[in-house]
Structure 1
Amino acid sequence: MAASNGHQLKRRRFKLTPGTSVIMDGDEYLVKEILNEKECIVKNISSNSADIVAISKLIEHASSVTSHLMPAESDLDNISEADYRIAKDRLEAIKPLLEFDQPRKSDVRLRAAEVDCHYTTLYNWLRAYQSTKALTSLIPKRRGWNYNRKRLDNDVNAIVEHYIENLYLTIKQPSPKKVYAEIKSACIKAGLTPPHQSTIYRRIDRIPEEKRLRGRGRIEEANNRFSIKAGKFPGANTILSVVQIDHTSVDLIVVDEDTRQSIKRIWITVAIDVFSRVITGIYLSLDAPSLTSVAMCISHSILPKDKWLKYVGIEGEWNVWGYPKKIHTDNGADFRSINLSDACASNGIDIEFRPVKKPNFGGHVERYLGTFAKKIAELDGKTFNRSNKRETYDPEKHANMTIDEIEKWLVNAIIEYHHTPHSSIGVAPVTQWKMGIEGGSGIMAAGLPEVPDDPLTLELDFLPKALRSISGQGVVWDNIHYFSDGIRHLIGHRDSNGKSLKYIVRRDPRDIRKVWVYDPFQKLYHEVPYADPTHPYTNKWELDEAKRYLKSLDDKTFNESAIFRAIENMREIEEQARTKTKKARRNKEAHARRKKQASPAKIYTGNVTNNKNASTDPVVNNETGGTDDDIWGTDIEGFEIE
């Protein structure tokens, strides 16, 4: 797609059911019967012939059907405070009806009476939300452009957080109105412009319910609602009801791809479905956990994995996909970010944080990571938590696997684990997953999980964002200029206070050669490259290193040209030091990994030009050249998790 055309946000979800119409190779097919989680029977409308096809193939084709008929979605950050609250109220109104696959008219009428609105209005809200599961579908539809969301500066934000933590979340239980009055007074005394009242109400509304109850002294109610009962996680009564996500450092020394010398350890992010214990998604990186790690893991978790398995060069089945109803995490800063909360809200996903000092709330994913660590301990290059256990073993001397090879090993281990009986649920995770789809003893059939109509929209929602104005020189982020004709019409607009209008800008930190600029007039994202096309590839980590490098030279007024000269100098220094220091080898390998690591959305949509590992259908990497040999097999011992 040309950058000037932009990318419209489409949050429609697709669920394969009998009667679904699918276009494949120019012919229309009708789904007649779902045979199992892998295959179904379809009928060719023109020839009247029937055939059995893979569900993964149908999903690949069906995800684009009727998408052009769907209205463009808004970015959640482009919604006013008032509209956000209205959308939240509408969601609360229809929530009881979402428990029914097909609510009866009497159910709708009864609920409409309870919330004091006409039943046709309630039905329209229900239908709009069911088509996307996105909060944005419940925003009031108005003509014209609405861009009145305000951001708080750091000083005001500090005051807001102080009064929420030290006044609202106390046993005094003050009303939001009282909290706002105190915040307003404190801002005026400090010579700052107070935030709007609705901004504070929205911030309070985002507080997790358990934190709200405990902070305001309602401990018993919080325990009754959120404490785990023996042997059962609350709410995990079917597939994708609750997905837990966590990170861990892999206790294995990694080698770089060219010299096979050690570059220390890597990080893995894992998502696990609590009901079935299947692993729904992963992400490996040489970088410490961040919002990017979480975003890529969630994208990988939601999307089908057939193409991704082929991309990494693995023959096997991982028939797990779908939107989680709730994501359960620890209290790390990467999970606590407003960006992640907004992205989840945009996609109809609740996010819940583990209570402090209650590790049993995250036990499922942590037990898997613990078992995974035991399997790692069987490999060459393993490390030890204590030096006295290491004795004479030298992990760096025995290390022999690159990060791509570890990724292959891990995926094969996951596939093996999925087919190994699980001690807690009594069957293999893949069997429990299948029972969740088809139904079983005491288990209600959920049907095939939903997939996104537009994977790129899903990815954009989770990318880090900033607010930037647009001038004749384009968009500036971290001293780097971006420009394209697609954003020319956004130059010069001002808000109601006469200040330059700021636009939502997103980027993938692993490759900052382009940004995505949200156009609130056309309700789409423009893909905007470097203003200077001669600049080389770089990423956020390398950019930050270059800035630190320039500051170490007492260059405090550096510009874009100086940054890229510094990047080139650093690369030359690292290349010379590569055979001598692990840090240099690690930096070079990390940059190479970021550059060639395609996102799950790009792989799923086919918008990637390489297969980074040799497979039955190898493709040359246009950026790095060549393909990697598949140097290890799939013979992995089975294991189980509690």
Structure 2
Amino acid sequence: MMNKISLNIGAKVYFENREYEISKQISTKEVLAKEIEFPYEFKVLKIHTLKSMPEKIQEVDISLYDKEEWEEANKKYKIIKPLLTGKRNTKKDVEEVAKEHNTSVPTIYRWIQDYNSTGTLSSLVPNLKKRGGPKKNRLPKEDETIIKAVIDEYYLNSQKYSIPYIYRIIQEKFHNANLKPPHLNTIRKRIDNLSSKEVTRQRDSSKVTDTWGTPGKNPRGNFPLELVQIDHTPLDLDLVDEENRESIGRAYLTLGIDVFSRMIMGFYISYEPVSFFNTGQCILNMIMPKEDFLKQQGVDGEWPIYGLPREISTDNAGEFRGIDLTRFCEQYSIEIDWRPVGRSFYGANVERVFKTLSSEVHNLSGTMFSNIVQRGNYNSQKNAAMTIGEFEQWFTELIVNVYHKKVHSELEMTPEEKYMEGIFGLGDYPGTGLPPIIENTKFLRYSLLPSFERTVQKTGITLDHVTYFSETLRKWIVPQAATKKGRSKLFICKRDPRDISKIYFYDPDIKEYFELPYRNITNPKINLSELRETIAKIKADKGDTHSLDEMTLFQTYKRMRDIEENSKVKTKKARRKKSSKNHLTKKLEQEKKLVKEEIEENQEELSKTIVKNIEIGTPELFSFDLIEEDEV
């Protein structure tokens, strides 16, 4: 499970399988901690080496939970949220919350304990098997549909209709449908559970002024990681391919900034069009400590910001509003602010950072100026000089050693100084302290990949005309006669667009992801863009792809690749495609290396513990999840 490890003073953590209590936060990378047991020594611990060592919790993919289960967990979280801050958690507070929501005090304590065990929303999903299944009083789906439609139309409306008026409309619609109307309190609860931000926006839009979101006037962003704005832009720079050093056009930049400090929290650069995957990779870069990333880029410097933001503000475009991003944010109690289309001032802080960074980009060879007067006779294609990898390194250097260390005109200090002030405090003003770190980054990476639901057939799992198989699937292959009696079971799969030669299958029994390679392992490795281009080519030639088989698909891909490779003068599009593939492959290999190192490190710690227990004769039974990783 991707548990959050608290770094607050007094928090319990594990290092080399010994329990420590954090005494001081001495930097963004280290804490001072004291052993819980003899000899009670103090140690300076690197935060990336810490473990939570909670009671064993099986990893459950959040995509498996149905809508009702997830809504139930969200409801519990909203009830206990005021009690999680540490400012309001006395026995009296708990009793008041229990009374307010007509719930017992022990239940509230249990929910708090469940949530604190992992710090994730999924810990509040009801255990239906242990508690006798879904609640009997849950409304049927048709009832819920009518209620939601009326609330959306009449309550979330600038007319500000009253709840009794809305209830009368609901009663009328239920009578017309020959259904029994719900109680008025049911409607009140549905309305109480609405997002206060959405209610304000829909019922009293005058309060959401055009200054909300502009630099210096954002009502949020009062402390580090309270609000992160994410936006996307094509780079004002012509890049070159690695082989011929010839122009292949622009790449896309996805950037996330911490509104409080104006520090850049993470970024992602790709030739591929902006999508959920780009946003997910930017979020991954935001959450992770940056030491490994800086090593990969060969940049000497400090990039101290990391962690889970409280709120993310991003585009309202359809490609970002998928269930993958929404569930990921709900799992970690991250609110999403969908910026209205056409109202760029909602993301004005990140827009300003884009302008600041663009002014530096315009000093590079191959820059694309924003207007004709600036451009003059300058030929960006002819002057292009950087590959995407070289630009990524240059951009990282710019962020870490220039932008973060330059005084910001509104902050009157550097973004890095502002962030450190927010974390460690200044004078009589306390800081927020170091944010929690995430355990099991392998599972974190899977969570930010696009997911699909597919059945297991005798041949394996088929996705976009490509079939995948592994012995892992054997137990899930259902005889054909059985499938005729009922609907086939759907399983969660994840796919990395950078390499579709494998998918990741989530086994709901073992609660672990397993790699599924091509069923035909002789097929070449390709990325998602190449797959889509090949399918489009076949559709253009044959008119449809309904009868498309895997052999034809990869034969067509090979022919297209051979034509490109044999061309004496490669087209700009071909060079761009090859450069994109090389860059994506390089990034993927770097991620695999990090995950493999993490797994090997965990196994090494485990081996030490086993040997130690054998030496001292501890009569323990060991049950560990040893994760095996194929060599890459």
Decide whether aligned partners of structure 1 residues 259 and 585 sit closer, same or farther in structure 2, where only a CA change above 3 A counts.
same
User: Residue 421 of structure 1: SS of its match in structure 2?
Assistant: coil
Q: Of residues 234, 237, 245 in structure 2, which corresponds to 1:260?
A: 245
Decide whether aligned partners of structure 1 residues 182 and 339 sit closer, same or farther in structure 2, where only a CA change above 3 A counts.
farther
Letter in 2 for 1:276: S
Q: Of residues 364, 372, 388 in structure 1, which corresponds to 2:357?
A: 372
The residue aligned with 1:552 is: 540
The residue aligned with 2:69 is: 83
The answer to which of 293-302 and 173-182 deviates more is 173-182
User: Residue 129 of structure 2: SS of its match in structure 1?
Assistant: coil
Give the whole-Å Cα distance in 2 for the aligned partners of 1:22 and 1:344. Answer: 25
The residue aligned with 1:574 is: 564
Q: Deviations over 1:320-366 (max 9, x none)?
A: 11000100112222322232112211222110112344322211111
Instruction: Give unmatched runs, 5+ long, in structure 2.
Output: 135-144, 178-186, 600-630
| Displacement of 1:438 | 1.0
Q: Of residues 537, 554, 578 in structure 2, which corresponds to 1:564?
A: 554
Q: Deviations over 1:442-483 (max 9, x none)?
A: 754211111111212222222111111111111110011111
The residue aligned with 2:92 is: 106
8 Å contact kept, 1:325–1:348: yes
Match runs of 1:364-513 below 5 Å: 364-415=349-400, 416-440=402-426, 443-492=429-478, 498-513=486-501
Letter in 2 for 1:37: T
8 Å contact kept, 2:311–2:336: yes
The answer to which of 556-565 and 137-146 deviates more is 137-146
8 Å contact kept, 1:168–1:179: no
Decide whether aligned partners of structure 1 residues 404 and 604 sit closer, same or farther in structure 2, where only a CA change above 3 A counts.
same
8 Å contact kept, 2:213–2:348: no
8 Å contact kept, 2:228–2:313: yes
Q: Of residues 314, 328, 331 in structure 1, which corresponds to 2:316?
A: 331
8 Å contact kept, 1:262–1:399: yes
Q: Deviations over 1:27-84 (max 9, x none)?
A: 776654322324444567787765545xxxx232214x415x3322433332233322
The answer to which of 296-305 and 387-396 deviates more is 387-396
Decide whether aligned partners of structure 1 residues 42 and 161 sit closer, same or farther in structure 2, where only a CA change above 3 A counts.
closer
Decide whether aligned partners of structure 1 residues 316 and 146 sit closer, same or farther in structure 2, where only a CA change above 3 A counts.
farther
Letter in 2 for 1:122: I
Give the whole-Å Cα distance in 1 for the aligned partners of 2:559 and 2:352. Answer: 44
8 Å contact kept, 1:79–1:146: no
1:597 aligns with 2:587: yes
User: Residue 511 of structure 1: SS of its match in structure 2?
Assistant: coil
Give the whole-Å Cα distance in 2 for the aligned partners of 1:271 and 1:88. Answer: 26
Letter in 2 for 1:12: N
1:361 aligns with 2:340: no
Aligned residues: 572
User: Residue 108 of structure 1: SS of its match in structure 2?
Assistant: helix
8 Å contact kept, 1:577–1:584: no
Q: Deviations over 1:89-115 (max 9, x none)?
A: 211111211232672222222222222
1:134 aligns with 2:124: no
| Displacement of 1:182 | 7.7
Give the whole-Å Cα distance in 1 for the aligned partners of 2:168 and 2:580. Answer: 49
Give the whole-Å Cα distance in 2 for the aligned partners of 1:315 and 1:177. Answer: 66
8 Å contact kept, 1:236–1:275: yes
Instruction: Give unmatched runs, 5+ long, in structure 1.
Output: 1-9, 149-157, 187-199, 610-621, 624-642
Match runs of 1:117-156 below 5 Å: 117-143=103-129
Give the whole-Å Cα distance in 2 for the aligned partners of 1:587 and 1:31. Answer: 50
The residue aligned with 2:28 is: 37
Task: State the identity as a percent.
Answer: 32
1:16 aligns with 2:3: no
User: Residue 257 of structure 2: SS of its match in structure 1?
Assistant: strand
The residue aligned with 1:542 is: 530
Decide whether aligned partners of structure 1 residues 230 and 534 sit closer, same or farther in structure 2, where only a CA change above 3 A counts.
closer
Larger Rg: 2
8 Å contact kept, 1:73–1:137: no
User: Residue 233 of structure 2: SS of its match in structure 1?
Assistant: strand
**Greater relative contact order (Cα 8 A, min sep 6): structure 1 or 2?**
1
Give the RMSD, CA atoms, in angstroms. Answer: 3.8
Decide whether aligned partners of structure 1 residues 19 and 575 sit closer, same or farther in structure 2, where only a CA change above 3 A counts.
same
Decide whether aligned partners of structure 1 residues 284 and 303 sit closer, same or farther in structure 2, where only a CA change above 3 A counts.
same
| Displacement of 1:595 | 1.6
8 Å contact kept, 1:41–1:50: yes
8 Å contact kept, 1:456–1:601: no
Given the two structures, how large is their TM-score scaled by the length of structure 2? 0.81
Decide whether aligned partners of structure 1 residues 165 and 403 sit closer, same or farther in structure 2, where only a CA change above 3 A counts.
farther
Q: Deviations over 1:154-211 (max 9, x none)?
A: xxxx99999997777555769599789989999xxxxxxxxxxxxx999999986545
User: Residue 263 of structure 1: SS of its match in structure 2?
Assistant: strand
Match runs of 1:255-334 below 5 Å: 255-334=240-319
Decide whether aligned partners of structure 1 residues 48 and 109 sit closer, same or farther in structure 2, where only a CA change above 3 A counts.
closer
Give the whole-Å Cα distance in 1 for the aligned partners of 2:292 and 2:232. Answer: 24
8 Å contact kept, 1:303–1:322: yes
